[in-house]
Structure 1
């Protein structure tokens, strides 16, 4: 009974502290304390369950320590949620290079540098998914012959009459206009591009005809940030 009475007193005190009249708790704003109400309720429910069962004092203390620790971890996770989300995003980017870390609120898409030193970016061209290399040296988006076919372009009707320099040497490309290019949730229509002739290019390039439509793009350390 003593433990039950103590638990009830704690519950009442916490309820008073997080009430609208109490204002704030431990330096948190009134809105933040209001968001803690579900956590407090869960703590009270679990504590009540432990106290209503007939257990030895050592088991009760162990249960209290366990739930108290879980509650503390939950509080810390809530307090540092922004930092933890940033760490999680970096880990996600390292495990899945090329996949965008999208911040819809700020209109940004961030990519992590691959092990080969390039930013390999997963995007969509005319609705077809493909990987492109970020390349400010390319005046336009450049598609490999195979990627162009995946994007629904009839390469048999193209005129490969534009000389281009690629990693494989000098080749030729055809000028096209892409219906839609989407990178990390940032979409553009009617994008000028080139299609390289077969075997002239290993990987498609995300060049300036897309990048120049952005309000900003920046490379810092091992990350690339594109801003709509």
Structure 2
């Protein structure tokens, strides 16, 4: 835990102690009833703490997923809670979650995702450079044997592995241009081939 987290914990413990002390002083005549109410408030407090701690997992579970309509060749992706669009592609049979970035030219993998799809260290040689919002970053050009989005398979797809830190891989226009139609309408990204 960081110093900030220890400080927050100490504050919460102190606040809880003050509330419990006040609660007992106010209700010193009916101690049995006070203990029951204290137990209820304690359970409510623990429930709130659990919900806050598990919020990331809960949000991921209820988050809308991409919808693939194979018969019409259409893929619909709802906008995420953070305002971005996310697509999960199967690269060499490994699922990789991408943030759709229409401002990026190419498909850019994080080093972690590159390892998950089977790229070895000898395949990833950082000798090119890309200009990002944070300045230049070294990249490694790679070829991906099989990239699938729903029923659509592409072979020998050009991509880059980013040497810098990225939280998610980026899906740029070079891949998105493989679709005949790309539309953003009413909070949905629509792709058709």
Structure 1 residues 102-158: Cα deviation after superposition (integer angstroms, max 9, x where no partner): 112210010001011110111211111110011122211110000000000013442
Q: State whether structure 2 residue 62 is matched by structure 1 residue 95.
A: yes
Q: 2: distance between equivalents of 1:172 and 1:111?
A: 31
Deviation at 1:215, TM superposition (A): 1.2
Q: 186, 189, 193: which one pairs with 1:224?
A: 189
Q: Could you say what the CA RMSD is over the residues aligned between the two structures, in angstroms?
A: 1.9
The SS at the match of 1:148 is: helix
Normalising by structure 2, what TM-score? 0.63
Q: Which residue of 1 aligns with 2:150?
A: 184
Q: 80, 92, 103: which one pairs with 1:114?
A: 80
Q: Which residue of 1 aligns with 2:137?
A: 171
Name the one with the larger strand percent.
Answer: 2
Q: 97, 101, 105: which one pairs with 1:135?
A: 101
Q: Which residue of 1 aligns with 2:125?
A: 159
- Structure 1 unaligned residues grouped into runs of 5+: 1-93
Deviation at 1:168, TM superposition (A): 5.3
The SS at the match of 1:209 is: helix
Structure with the greater alpha carbon radius of gyration: 1
Q: Which residue of 1 aligns with 2:110?
A: 144
The SS at the match of 2:136 is: strand
- Structure 2 unaligned residues grouped into runs of 5+: 1-60
- Larger relative contact order (Cα-Cα within 8 Å, sequence gap ≥ 6): 2
